[in-house]
A and B are shown apart, each in its own frame.
Chain A
Amino acid sequence: MIPQILTIARFTLIESLRNRLLLLCFLLAAISFVMIEFIGELTITEHRVTQIAILAAFLRISAVVLVTLFVVSSMVRELHDKTLEMVLAMPIHRGSYYLGKLAGFLGIALVVCLVFSGVLLLYAEAGALLVWSVSLFLELILVVALSLVMLLSFSQVPAALTAVFVFYGAARLISSLFLMSKAPIMAYTGPGQAFMDRFIALLAWLLPDLQRFTRTEWLSYNTASWDALLPVAGQTVVYLSLLSFIALFDFYRKNF
């Protein structure tokens, strides 16, 4: 089983190189560098802090978008080219296929994470950047697993991408939304408000709290500590398991 997983992972990585993903990564890194140098010229004070804050947020969202697009487009191609059917016709478990693809995509996420962290190394303190980069990689692990779930569920690029980005946005904002629902500016006690409050509370239970991940102030103000990674790593393990079992549940039920 392990050799099968490794083979699938290896071919996924090779595919990413042939798709010039690395080139795209470096292009994004170069664009972000130019953009941030320009922004640096606009500031009167807090020059470095401003550059880091904007660059870190830009690279974080770029990494998420890039990895999501690659995972979804790669899996869709497998479905449309019937590669998946060919692989499944061999004596390979669907679980092995899923784990192989997951491992390959995680390798790609690691490459993206390393390239983007390299840009930040020009501005941020190395210790804080290491913590931030580990957190970004953990975040990308969830993004990869989420993209696989959505693609296996919807099988269509627009639907899968929309679902991933809505889910990701909600997971980033759920803490803020929950706090806002707990302390509204105008108190309103109608049934609609009660329903929304409960719905947001339910979402807070179901979604991973991505607001704790990859925090910009870790880099801007050097507040990163390895302790902050513990809840992040815990959440990643728990939610990766949940997403993987959802994907496998769906994958084993699918007819090709």
Chain B
Amino acid sequence: MKFSYLQRERPITDVPRNIRYLLVIALLLQLFWHSQQPPVTARAEDLPVPLSARAYVLASLGEPVTAAKLLNLWLQAFDNQPGTSLSFNQLDYHRLTLWLDTILELDPRGSYPMLVAARVYGSVKNPEKQRVMMEYIYTRFKQNPGRYWRWLAHAVITAKHEIRDNALALKYADALAENATGKQVPYWARDMKIIVLEDMGQIEAAKVLVGALLASGEIQDPYELKFLTDKIAALEEKSSKKRQTVEK
């Protein structure tokens, strides 16, 4: 193989000796300089307060939808900072809701913030933080019940089986029954109040909800479908383990 561009160059010996030595010295100097610097340590940063939506529109050269999608990914990955990892428990949830608000303001058609509120940040093992997320979903639902009913349905399950607050679950189920009256809202969502009152087991209830969401055919996104299918599989596994433990 011929490297014609190399052959066009003059030989290294044509470079003055001083230049060659000084090049090596400069390289060594850089290595020495780097060795004298304090080591880089990973430091977890707190979630900052978001700027106004207008500021993100300006920063994205007038592309609010793109800004919203990039902020979604940034926020989703905030727990993975360079060299360290935060648990969602360490995040300031009130501040987190400000971010979700900003993203929804930038892209009102998007549903990403509601999904992460319900299934990512709302799944931490900390009832206080879960309450913040569920109340966020409830507030958003009241603003647009036809659009946000399925996340409130998730909030009912979370309130009942994870936060273990029946009154809270009933409040959300009530809101669903009263406000989610659109034709697109399925029967099972409007009747979640009955499910809450029947006091189902946690795994079974979650399976019902996820299964119903899948069966509704409303979810088209292949990644969300995969997420839910995986969730069903995980729940099945948990369920069978639980049964085996009981049989023993």
Verify that A and B bind, or say they do not: yes
A interface residues (Cβ-Cβ under 8 A, vs B): 39, 42-50, 53-54, 56-57, 61, 169, 172-173, 175-177, 179-180, 185, 210-211, 216-217, 220-221
Q: Is B112 an interface residue (CB 8 A)?
A: yes
- Our pick among A44, A50, A61 for the contact of B61 (Cβ within 8 Å) is A61
Residues on A with beta carbons closer than 8 Å to the beta carbon of B120: 44
CB nearest to B110 among chain A residues: A46
With contacts A44-B120, A46-B112, A217-B65 known, is A176 near B57, CB below 8 A? yes
* A57 engages B221 (CB within 8 Å): no
With contacts A39-B73, A169-B61, A180-B54 known, is A48 near B221, CB below 8 A? yes
16 contacts between A and B (CB under 8 A): A44-B115, A44-B116, A44-B119, A44-B227, A45-B221, A46-B110, A48-B221, A49-B110, A53-B63, A53-B68, A53-B69, A175-B62, A176-B62, A180-B54, A185-B52, A220-B109
Complex interface bits, B46-81 against A, C-beta within 8 A gives 1, otherwise 0: 000000101001101111011011101100110000
* B66 engages A45 (CB within 8 Å): no
* A50 engages B72 (CB within 8 Å): yes
* A44 engages B62 (CB within 8 Å): no
What 6 pairs across the A-B complex have the smallest Cβ distances? A57-B66, A45-B224, A47-B223, A53-B69, A50-B69, A211-B62
- Our pick among B52, B65, B227 for the contact of A220 (Cβ within 8 Å) is B65
Q: Is B222 an interface residue (CB 8 A)?
A: yes
Q: Is B111 an interface residue (CB 8 A)?
A: yes
* A172 engages B62 (CB within 8 Å): yes
Residues on B with beta carbons closer than 8 Å to the beta carbon of A42: 73, 76-77
CB nearest to A219 among chain B residues: B65
Chain A proximity of B194: nearest CB distance (Å):
28
* B76 engages A44 (CB within 8 Å): yes
CA distance A56 to B61 in the complex (A): 13
Chain A proximity of B214: nearest CB distance (Å):
14
Residues on A with beta carbons closer than 8 Å to the beta carbon of B112: 43-46, 50
CB-CB contacts below 8 Å: B198-238 with A: 221-224, 227
CA distance A172 to B76 in the complex (A): 28
Residues on A with beta carbons closer than 8 Å to the beta carbon of B119: 44
Chain B proximity of A129: nearest CB distance (Å):
15
* A176 engages B58 (CB within 8 Å): yes
From A45, A50, A216, name the one whose CB has the most chain B CB atoms within 10 angstroms.
A45
Chain B proximity of A178: nearest CB distance (Å):
11
Chain A proximity of B204: nearest CB distance (Å):
24
CA distance A226 to B165 in the complex (A): 52
CA distance A179 to B54 in the complex (A): 9
* A46 engages B111 (CB within 8 Å): yes
Residues on A with beta carbons closer than 8 Å to the beta carbon of B60: 57
With contacts A45-B224, A45-B227 known, is A210 near B62, CB below 8 A? yes
With contacts A57-B66, A221-B109 known, is A46 near B221, CB below 8 A? yes
CB nearest to A214 among chain B residues: B63
Residues on B with beta carbons closer than 8 Å to the beta carbon of A211: 62
